Chain A
Amino acid sequence: MYRYDEFDREFVLARVAQFSDQVRRRLAGDLTEEQFKPLRLMNGLYLQLHAYMLRVAVPYGTMNAVQMRKLAHIARKYDRGYGHFTTRQNIQFNWPRLDETPEILSELAEVEMHAIQTSGNCIRNVTADHFAGAAADEIADPRVYAEILRQWSSLHPEFSFLPRKFKIAITGAPHDRAAVQVHDIGLQLARNENGETGFIVYVGGGLGRTPMVGRKVRDFLPEADLLAYTEAILRVYNLYGRRDNKYKARIKILVHETGLEELKADIEREFEAIRGGILTLPKDEVDRIEAYFAAPAFKVPGDERLFDAAIETMPGFADFARQNLNAHRQPGYTSLTISLKPIGGAPGDASAEQMEVVADLAEKYGHNEIRVSHEQNLVLPHVLKSDVPAVYQVLKEHGLAEANAGLVTDIIACPGMDYCALATARSIPVAQRISERFGTPERQKEIGDLKIKISGCINACGHHHVGHIGILGVEKKGKEFYQITLGGSADEKSSIGEIVGRGFSYEEVVDAVETVVDTYLNIRNGEEEDFLQAYRRVGEAPFKEALYGTQ
């Protein structure tokens, strides 16, 4: 994986020193809260309901065992013994003290981590497929380009005061696991007819109060033009993006209001003016970065009879093997999802002890690589199939072996009103109750692939618009109220879910979800037709009928 050079190290250390001084000046009264707030946000530090919250970047969701152990240490020493993995492949600590954050950032810098650009109106942590460098269907490793974009965008002077935040995602495979079409810029690696690497480019996707699927602006952007073209998009956005209204400031609104063709022409014009210049990616630089992400020294395949025997004999292992493994490009290997969605648990939360268990497993069985997925799970990308039973055994001992990746209980949920200052309703307890309702292995298996996503306010951090079943919590007459959307999706055929009807109270919402699920089970054309396919075939009518009766 990527390793800091001297420049990176000095850059992060300088940033820690700078922030330490800012905190000192704030506590001494030399900076007002108004002056300090944008500075702390640039270092990922928010003030939430109960305490400060520190968001630490995990660039493109990749880290190693030493880094994970450091996160566990921070959780224990400065927080309350746990952390929360997010939909941007980052981690949040919910209880740090302001006066201790400089120390936390120093500790993070020791292991090449930081909280830079995890907040504020800048280019945020670039996210990527969590199976990058491992997936059998991959064209090229998206992290190489995510890292190049990170280096280009970090404290980019021209793009530090954008109209609003800016999110980029990259997928390396035709099957999009990084939700690229609902990002400000979505990049999908592709090969042209000459076998050259490049990108399909989408612009203007996003969720929040105005959800939109990104529009394709390029069928093929050559690799060498990645930075020039991205810079062209950012320049057009920085110039024309609205600054008069925070809720209309994202690039999706600009695309919508300007019209795709005109905006495309603006981008191409800017691109023509800067292409071939200093931003052209030299091949040797791409190769240099690529070397950092070279595959580990894979071992010869182990004895897979161990794996096959475990399917027969080890309780729960067959379900785990069916659900939590992803095809690897290397014979004898698999990518293994560690679910952070135990039945009845808070989605994305991991205790310090669990983080250490994952770190140990990564070292012992996983070539020292760990990923955070945008679905709030962890992944060991490179595990020998013959080692999976041993890994499973350890996971099971630590409450990490839930065999539910991609199933109804693998729910994305934002922190909601239990933690977040912006939330208007709770999300986590709704996720917990749904998880308990559908929690038996038989019920989950019967339902099959189903993505439920929950947000506790209209900002949509829980991606509810792109849930097959989406749940949005709002406040209505002082009570929590939940709106259900159906048919959303964030893969290569992205779609925004449609509101099915009036919302439900906190007490009613789980029953409503069960009604939707049971309706699907009744109308599907056999087990092969998953929820989304069935919904796309029949539309909302039967679900509406089941939820509200004939109206």
Chain B
Amino acid sequence: MMKVVTANRLFDGEVVWLGAGGRWVEDLGEAHVLETKEAEAAALEEGAASADRQEVVDVYSIDVTVEEGMLIPVRFREQIRAAGPTMRLDLGKQARRRENAA
């Protein structure tokens, strides 16, 4: 199994994933991949504690896979969450990535 824990940041709604050391990251590539049930449960607990500190809301885990060395969510909905609206490539995380690449 491969999972990551995700949430939305409380103050601005930004999609985030749980990275190394319990830090929330804005880029899925930096998320901490969970390979056992125990690791997933621990990460969800960490996320819940963060929610209790008013850092994030709606904490849950998602399935991910690796394609061409990149971390990709399995569900299409989560792929859109990780990128931005599919018909507005100038918006969301995908836009920032494009800017950075340019």
Contact = CB atoms under 8 A, between A and B. Distances in A.
A504 interface: no
Given A27-B54, A417-B76, A417-B80, A47 B87 contact: no
B86 interface: yes
Contacts of A33: 10, 51, 57-58
Nearest to B83: A50
Interface in B48-95: 51, 53-54, 57-58, 74-77, 80-81, 84-88, 91-92
Interface in A8-36: 26-29, 33
B92 to A, nearest CB: 5
Interface stretch (A270-278, A299-307, A424-432, A537-545): A424-432
B85 A480 contact: no
A22 to B, nearest CB: 13
A49 B81 contact: yes
A249 to B, nearest CB: 23
B53 A50 contact: no
A549 interface: no
B12 A50 contact: no
A269 interface: no
B55 to A, nearest CB: 10
A478 interface: yes
A50 B81 contact: yes
Quick one: which of A51, A346, A475 has the most chain B CB within 10 A?
Answer: A51
Nearest to B58: A47
A310 B44 CA distance: 66
A52 B87 contact: no
Interface string A431-450: 01000000000000000000
Contacts of B92: 50
B17 to A, nearest CB: 14
B9 to A, nearest CB: 9
B14 interface: yes
A341 B14 CA distance: 29
B12 A428 contact: no
A252 B74 CA distance: 38
A475 B85 CA distance: 17
B10 to A, nearest CB: 7
Contact of B14 (A27, A51, A429): A51
Given A50-B13, A52-B13, A98-B12, A418 B85 contact: yes
A223 B74 CA distance: 57
A428 B87 contact: yes
Contacts of A50: 13-15, 81, 84-85, 91-92
Contact of A49 (B11, B57, B77): B77
Nearest to B92: A50
B76 A47 contact: no
B13 A47 contact: yes
Interface in B1-52: 8, 10-15, 51
Nearest to B12: A97
Interface in A79-113: 80, 95, 97-99
A415 to B, nearest CB: 9
A99 B74 CA distance: 32
Given A51-B12, A99-B12, A29 B76 contact: no
Given A29-B54, A33-B51, A418-B87, A98 B10 contact: yes
Contacts of B54: 26-29
Contacts of A237: none
A478 B75 contact: yes
A214 to B, nearest CB: 33
A47 B57 contact: yes
A130 to B, nearest CB: 26
B86 A27 contact: no
A479 B75 CA distance: 9
Quick one: which of A80, A346, A418, A424 has the most chain B CB within 10 A?
Answer: A418
A44 to B, nearest CB: 14
A47 B99 CA distance: 26
A80 B91 contact: yes
A98 B13 CA distance: 7
A480 B76 contact: yes
Contact of B13 (A51, A418, A426): A51
A106 B67 CA distance: 47
A27 B57 CA distance: 11
B44 to A, nearest CB: 16
Contacts of B91: 50, 80, 95
A379 to B, nearest CB: 25
Contacts of B87: 346, 418, 428-429, 432
Nearest to A432: B87
Contacts of A51: 8, 12-14
Nearest to B84: A50
Interface string A453-484: 00000000000000000000001001110000
Nearest to B91: A80
Contacts of B84: 50
A121 B74 CA distance: 34
B87 to A, nearest CB: 5
Nearest to B8: A47
A27 B10 CA distance: 8
Quick one: which of A48, A49, A98 has the most chain B CB within 10 A?
Answer: A49
A317 interface: no
A418 B15 contact: no
Interface string A46-59: 01111110000000
Contacts of A48: 13
A-B residue pairs, 8 tightest by C-beta: A51-B13, A418-B85, A97-B12, A52-B13, A29-B54, A99-B11, A429-B87, A33-B57
7 contacts: A26-B54, A27-B11, A27-B54, A33-B58, A47-B8, A50-B81, A80-B91
Given A47-B58, A50-B85, A51-B14, 7 more contacts: A52-B13, A98-B10, A99-B11, A346-B87, A418-B85, A418-B88, A428-B87
